[in-house]
Amino acid sequence: MRGRPLLALLLIISCLNQAARADIVVVAHPDSPLRQLSPQEVSDLYLGRVRSIQGSERLLILDQPRDSELRSRFFQVLNGMSLRSVNAYWARLQFSGVSQPPIPMPDSQAVIKIVHHNRLAIGYVEAPAVTGDVRPLLTLKE
């Protein structure tokens, strides 16, 4: 009987945590040549398969910190990859010299700042972090 209130509390906290998760938004500079991106295009960019799309110049692709919860959610929602799989994928590519991973930023505010100052930069942030300084290209919902 003592465990039921604790179990109920844990269930409520779990539900609140799921509800508190914000959408993830891929953003670009307001003057970016990109107008909208598909999930496949974003996946190709973030897995180093391409560095430019839709006739754009080479893009500056910004990432979140290597082991961040937001990065984990981004890759899970985008293409079903765990953070461990993504990190292993990039380790193989770097070792072979094929490609370099997106540039990790310290947080979403840094992503917004760089994207705002570079018209060829793209990054992803949680929806509440999006400001008028950037333009959304794709929203990923969990």
63, 103 contact by CB (below 8 A): yes
- Domain presence at residue 64: yes
- Domain presence at residue 77: yes
d(CA 19, CA 22): 8
Which residues form the domain of 56?
A: 22-140
- Domain presence at residue 12: no
d(CA 69, CA 19): 15
64, 105 contact by CB (below 8 A): yes
Give the total number of structural domains in the chain: 1
Percent of the chain residues topping a pLDDT of 70: 86
| CATH number of 32's domain | 3.40.190.10
- Domain presence at residue 13: no
d(CA 137, CA 13): 32
- Domain presence at residue 26: yes
Cβ neighbors of 99 (< 8 A, separation 6 or more) are 48, 93
- Domain presence at residue 3: no
- Domain presence at residue 81: yes
Percent of the chain residues topping a pLDDT of 90: 73
- Domain presence at residue 124: yes
Helix, strand, coil share of the chain (percent; to 5): 45, 15, 40
**Range with the poorest average pLDDT among 11-15, 31-35, 80-84:** 11-15
- Residue range 37-49, pLDDT digits in tens: 999 999 999 999 9
